A and B are shown apart, each in its own frame.
Chain A
Amino acid sequence: MLTALLAPFVLAIFAPTVRRVSGPMTGWVLALLPAGLTFYFAQFIGVVAEGGAVSFSTPWVPATGINLSFYVDGLSLLFALLISGIGTFIVLYAGAYLKGHADLGRFLMFILMFMGSMLGLVLSDDVITLFVFWELTSVTSFLLIGFNHTSPRSRRAAVQALVVTGGGGLALLAGLLLMAQVGGSMELSTLLTEGDVLRNHPYYLAILILVLAGAFTKSAQVPFSFWLPNAMEAPTPVSAYLHSATMVKAGVYLLARVNPGLGGTDVWQITLVLFGAATFLVGAVLALRNTDLKLMLAQTTVASLGLLVFLIGLGHDIALQAAMTYLFAHSLFKGALFMAAGCIDHGTGTREIGRLSGLGSAMPITAAASALAALSMSGLAPFIGFIAKEFAYKATLGGIWPVAITSVAVIGSALLFTVAFLVGVKPFLGKPGDTPSPPHEGSPSLWLGPVVLAVLGLLAGPFNGVTETYFVGPAVSAVAGAPMVVDLYLWGGLKTPLFLSVVTVALGAVMFWRATALQEFLARILDRLWGPDQGYDQFLDGVVALARGVTARLQTGSLRRYLLVSFLVLAAVLAVPKVFMGSDAQVIVAPKEFYVWCVAVLTIAGGLAIMITRSRLIAILSMGVLGIAVAFVFLMFGAPDLAFTQLMVETLSVVILALVIARLPVQGVDWRGWPRALRDSAIGTVIGVAIAMVLLSITSRPMDLTLSEYFAEKSYTEAYGRNIVNVILVDFRALDTFGEIAVVVIAGVAVLGLLAFGGRRAASTPALDEEKTK
């Protein structure tokens, strides 16, 4: 299993090489892997259809209980088969679609990486593994959307998709971890058997919101749906694969997966139904408003995802059956339609439906595939799409708010019916239109995918016994969390669902008849409205403006300002608690020795001199006096190493400062004025007094001497050194020291760089600060 999941990643690395070696046959060669994976997964069909499940586990981070564990049940198998099966045709298709493109190798590399991530996502059992693969699909999607990286629109769409889905992914991580905490296991298969524990826990709402944030962003639910149409900037194979058949279904997959654990509550039902229904309607309306084949299809995908979400939200048996059937049907017809749209684009040079007509005679195979897929999408018998729609109506009639939800379903389906005919049938009928290049049929690798998927969509309807036993049935059982009998049928008798289907078709046909007028009408209304896409831009602009404002305030470029702000904050942090909470500082013994008082006077004199002197040079020298006085303090109270270091640092500080001051434009007297001198002195005094009080209160408490004693004891016996400080530095804590000297080297290099590029202006002393911290 692990091999099967790693294989796409390994092959991905070699995809550019394969491309160089096998030239025009690249697509066929690389498609062997997904084809092989399809067969590999197909061998689980038997076990899973009988209600079994297969799991695999390899330790990954055993210390925290994270395993690379995978779980094959009906739901993950359905997805795995769709991913590898459709993936086979996508790789083939991409090989022909981007034939001669300089970066075809890289493109196929991304596609294969995506395939591996997606397979990992649907098969993962461990929540961390699931999250890793989830984010990998976001990252590979980013790479694929931004494949035409010279186009600003592509780049924007790629970043947008990454921000939205990646952000949702982070929420999902939090949700999954909370879930793991509450349920006490990292394995989904275990967690989901404890639905009651999860649902009754106080964290349930938090978990639900976080998981839904992940699912809704990934599956383009309103109000996050805007990234999906923008992602159509990607080459068509990507749109067909990621943004219709697989990746965008990851959110739906997640909802279906966690349904046994989190589903069934009122919050779950209402949220999913509301968001799903809104998405369904918005997507369907926007699909009709657009005139670009790919954008129309993208919006119908949004609509379909909405339908799936609200079906899962309804949650009863029929709804789950409808959801899984529709999911299966949708992957087939939408993949086919997208690939057919790509064929049309490839053959004619345009995707504007206004310019496309009469392609039927020039592109007969594409036309046939496209028409079959469109019929399935519009929900006509005997296609699998019809069964899905029948079940969806049956589901809405039996769920919450039957009238409202059923009306939404009927209106949305009618809109999808219209769009299906506009996209899949209309371009091939009528007189030949005016297209940039004369229409022609593509190579077999281009039409093979759409034909196979469309024909499967046709066969899955009449042969619904196969569909229900091997694909839909096991998936429904997995979603419900209990074995489930699924009975799909084409003829359900003269009942309400059939009547609703007739209404849908009639409504759709009317809208198709008046399509042009309707599209113009929608364009007039909708284009004026504010949408989340603009909202995304406004949000990003807001973030940038905020960052700019904060930067302008804080990063003024004035070193004095930085120091002032830093020390003010330090003073506040140290002094405010003391003022409000009092201090337990107490002077234990006042020193009696004369020399101690001498040093104290020297220290204070140095400090006072810095405050009031008018000359920079004297200020620097006074700093030196102060520092050396402090070194004496260290020496007197038994820290010779520290005193030694302090002495040397002070000496070198004076040398370096003297070098710097020689470069400064101001000579001699440079008086800053009494107000500033007093302000600086006040801040300095507050910090000094506050630190003294902190130290006094620390020393007046009993100290934990465990470490000191350990080092004192082991220093000579284990490290053969009597100087504990040095032994700690170079032996016990050598790794720390190693990091510190690395910083010193980096600081040195940085200073050299600043001096080389910034000349005089950069001659400040970051390295000196570095020394001081030692």
Chain B
Amino acid sequence: MNSLILRTATPFLVGLTVLFSIYVLLRGHNEPGGGFIGGLIGASAFATYIISEGTNAIRRALIVPPIAIAGIGLFLAGLSGVASILFGDAFMTGQWWFPDFKPDLKYLSTVVLFDIGVYMVVVGAIVSIILGLEESGQ
């Protein structure tokens, strides 16, 4: 889209929105947020980028195809479930690691890994659909 204001603002907007989406993803366990919402925010950031810079730019920026991001996300989510089997629990039982230097840290867990997987799936799937729609008309 040929809009000077949009093109100027995009780098800041996208960067900030992606950062915000990751923030929302990580705070999700205790405050409103989480992988799904974070993923939607991230996807909207990339949608802005697509509208402003075009599809080739985002493909270059993402390096891997967006659907691969979704695939990796699904894999990570599955992996986080399998991990509990190694510790002798049932599939998808959450596992936490409380490091010695900060025992009250409640972030190092398979549950967070699972949430990251959800985030990647949502971002990957939506961005690839938007890209597909955008490119099908060209």
Q: Which residues of A contact B (CB under 8 A)?
A: 640-641, 644-645, 648-649, 651-652, 655-656, 659-660, 662-663, 719-723, 725-727, 729-731, 734-735, 737-738, 741-742, 744-745, 747-749, 751-752, 755-756, 759-760, 763, 767-768, 771, 774
Contacts and interface: CB of A to CB of B under 8 A. Distances in A.
A768 B132 CA distance: 13
Given A641-B34, A726-B29, A748-B124, A734 B44 contact: no
A722 B36 contact: no
A756 B67 CA distance: 14
Given A719-B111, A721-B29, A663 B36 contact: no
Nearest to A662: B137
Contact of A648 (B35, B41, B77, B94): B41
Q: Is the interface of A mostly helix, strand, loop or mixed?
A: helix
A730 B114 CA distance: 7
A652 B28 contact: no
Contact of A644 (B33, B67, B129): B33
B56 interface: no
Nearest to B71: A745
Given A723-B30, A725-B32, 5 more contacts: A652-B126, A721-B106, A745-B74, A748-B125, A748-B126
A660 to B, nearest CB: 6
16 contacts: A659-B134, A663-B137, A720-B29, A723-B30, A725-B32, A725-B34, A726-B34, A730-B35, A735-B92, A737-B77, A738-B81, A738-B114, A744-B121, A745-B71, A748-B125, A749-B67
Interface string B34-78: 111100110110010001000000000000000100110110011
Contacts of B19: none
Given A641-B37, A729-B36, A730-B114, A760 B125 contact: no
Kindly name the residue among B36, B96, B106 whose own CB sees the greatest number of chain A CB atoms within 10 A: B36
Contact of A751 (B32, B37, B78, B129): B129
Given A751-B129, A755-B133, A760-B136, A741 B33 contact: no
Interface in B90-138: 91-92, 94, 96, 106, 109, 111-112, 114-115, 117-118, 121-122, 124-126, 128-130, 132-137
A741 B136 contact: no
Contact of B115 (A725, A730, A768): A730
Contacts of B91: 735
B136 A763 contact: yes
A765 to B, nearest CB: 8
Q: Which 10 A-B pairs have the closest CB atoms?
A: A648-B40, A748-B125, A721-B29, A640-B32, A726-B34, A741-B121, A720-B106, A755-B132, A722-B30, A726-B28
Given A645-B36, A745-B121, A663 B133 contact: yes
Contact of A722 (B29, B43, B71): B29
Contacts of B29: 720-723, 726-727, 730
A552 B67 CA distance: 35
Q: Is the interface of B mostly helix, strand, loop or mixed?
A: helix
B34 A656 contact: no
B70 A723 contact: no
A774 B121 CA distance: 14
Contact of B133 (A649, A660, A727): A660
A734 B47 CA distance: 28
Contact of B70 (A648, A663, A731, A748): A748
A767 to B, nearest CB: 5
Contacts of A755: 132-133, 135-136
A660 B132 CA distance: 11
Contacts, number: 153
Given A731-B94, A752-B128, A763 B133 contact: yes
Nearest to A658: B51
Contacts of B92: 734-735, 738
Nearest to B105: A720
A760 B132 CA distance: 11
Given A640-B32, A734-B81, A760-B137, A744 B132 contact: no
B8 to A, nearest CB: 20
B34 A723 contact: yes
Contacts of A648: 37, 40-41, 43-44
A744 B125 CA distance: 7
Contacts of B33: 641, 644, 723, 726
A771 B47 CA distance: 16
A763 B71 CA distance: 22
A644 B136 contact: no
Nearest to B116: A730
Nearest to B32: A640
B32 to A, nearest CB: 4
Contact of A723 (B32, B112, B130, B133): B32
A747 B74 contact: no
B32 A644 contact: yes
B24 to A, nearest CB: 8
A734 B30 CA distance: 17
A646 to B, nearest CB: 10
A236 to B, nearest CB: 51
A535 B8 CA distance: 75
B44 A748 contact: no
B129 A741 contact: no
B40 A656 contact: no
Kindly name the residue among A655, A662, A742 whose own CB sees the greatest number of chain B CB atoms within 10 A: A655
Interface string B4-39: 000000000000000000001000111111111100
Contacts of A640: 32
A747 B136 CA distance: 17
Contact of A641 (B32, B51, B133, B136): B32
Nearest to B132: A755
Nearest to A645: B37
A719 B92 CA distance: 12
Nearest to B137: A663
Contacts of B37: 641, 644-645, 648
Contacts of A659: 130, 133-134
Contacts of A655: 44, 47, 51, 130
Contacts of B67: 745, 748-749, 752
Given A659-B130, A719-B94, A723-B31, A745 B36 contact: no
A722 B114 CA distance: 17
B133 A734 contact: no
Contacts of A720: 29, 96, 106, 109
A741 B126 contact: no
Contacts of A745: 67, 70-71, 73-74, 121, 124-125
A47 B21 CA distance: 77
Contacts of B129: 656, 748, 751-752, 767-768
Contacts of B78: 738
Nearest to A655: B47
Nearest to A751: B129
A620 to B, nearest CB: 14
A519 to B, nearest CB: 68
Nearest to A733: B92
A718 B90 CA distance: 15
B60 to A, nearest CB: 19
A333 B37 CA distance: 75
Given A663-B137, A738-B92, A744 B130 contact: no
Contacts of B128: 748, 751-752
B25 to A, nearest CB: 10
Contacts of A722: 29-31
A741 B73 contact: yes
B132 A652 contact: no
A648 B21 CA distance: 11
Contact of B74 (A656, A741, A760, A763): A741
Contacts of B126: 652, 748, 767, 771
Contacts of A656: 129-130, 133
Kindly name the residue among A649, A660, A663, A731 whose own CB sees the greatest number of chain B CB atoms within 10 A: A731
A745 B106 CA distance: 29
A181 B32 CA distance: 51
